[in-house]
Structure 1
Amino acid sequence: MKATTSLLDEVLRCYKPHCRYLTSMDLSVDGEVLTGVGQFSIPESCYIDDTGHLNSVEVNICYNQLLYAVIANAVHRGVGEVFSGWTMAEFRRRQLPDILIASFGSTFRRPIDPRSFHGEFIVDRISQRRLRADAAPLVSLATTFRLWDDLGGACDGTARIAIVDGGNRA
């Protein structure tokens, strides 16, 4: 399922225009496993002179953009036990304050050309638990990812995501 341009634009609205690296994404669903495959382009780093290769800061930004795009598409399509209960308004409200990277690790295998590369993001496992009986459930996502270019550049990693419920905000 291809993400619509308008939905992707909505997901990336929180990024400065020159930091919107994800240019397209497809979502596939197999039970509770969600997989997003995207195309990226970083014409110029947002914070450092050109290094000639993708670096860890940009990997984290790309991961975050795929994470948000996969969740938004799952919400939009009503996929999964957790995200089918959300509305797009709820996603927008929760995107920045409630979706947290709890742990993140990446390994670079070969340098990646940042001007044109691909990424894959997989939600391997979703779990929920209540920290208090009267609280909304804490949602935990176990994820893996990989990035690569057409010249053999490669990076992969894992991350754990916590989705908290900070309540309604004005």
Structure 2
Amino acid sequence: MTAAVEPRTIPDNPQLRERVLRCYKPNCRYLRSATSTVHDGRIRLTAAFEIGESCYIDDTGHLNAVEVNICYNQMLYLAVATCVREKIGPVFDTWSMEDFWRRQLPAILIARMRSTFTRGLDPRGFSGEFRMDDVAARRLRPDTGPLVSLGTSFRYWDSDGDGCQGTVAVAIVPDPVVPDPVVARRQP
């Protein structure tokens, strides 16, 4: 019988968070802090958000679908960066932080997103949770790195309780593999 592995908590890392969010315009950096929990090789990230002013529309008075997506992306990027930094497997334990920075924008793609609102949430102060439910990698061709597929879920709540939840399928497209110099010399 194997001993149960206790969940490990990773506190907010302001330097990592700021670097991850650097790709966003300053008025669109909604994620204010985040704590991660790792259990059985899976990460759950809990975040605090604040949208003082929408980056694209007049005040609607509630969290809307566009900003749900932006907040999800910010949690996703921070969760993957944390997995890489903390060497949380099975895929990200082989990446360097440079691999993450190089791939953050061009290679991490939302393949499918489904969200359900049960009520309006106050965008000026709410919380979110990102869960990495499933991770798989498969090589599509011998001359590229693996395609990484993530099954993820999320939810958002404010002081009045839950208001939005959903699931997202994420694809991380392959990085070209550097050819083996011995094999490359043999080819005509």
TM-score, normalising length: structure 1: 0.95
* Deviation at residue 166 of structure 1 after TM alignment: 4.0
1:51 is aligned to 60
State yes or no: 1:126 paired with 2:111. no
Contact 1:3 1:24 in 2 (8 A): yes
State yes or no: 1:97 paired with 2:95. no
Structure 1 stretches lacking a partner, 5+ long: none
Residue in structure 2 matching 1:16, options 25, 29, 52: 25
Contact 1:28 1:35 in 2 (8 A): yes
Separation in 2, partners of 1:137, 1:153 = 36
1:141 is aligned to 150
Structure 2 stretches lacking a partner, 5+ long: 1-9, 178-188
Q: Superposition RMSD on alpha carbons, in Å?
A: 1.2
Query: 1:67-86: CA deviations, max 9, x gaps?
Result: 00000111111111211111
1:74 is aligned to 83
Which consecutive aligned stretches of 4+ in structure 1 deviate over 6 angstroms post-superposition? none
Count of aligned positions: 168
2:159 corresponds to which letter in structure 1? D
1:106 is aligned to 115
* Deviation at residue 153 of structure 1 after TM alignment: 4.7
Contact 1:74 1:83 in 2 (8 A): yes
Residue in structure 1 matching 2:47, options 13, 38, 42: 38
Higher relative contact order (Cα pairs below 8 Å, separated by 6+ residues): 1
TM-score, normalising length: structure 2: 0.86
Contact 2:155 2:162 in 1 (8 A): no
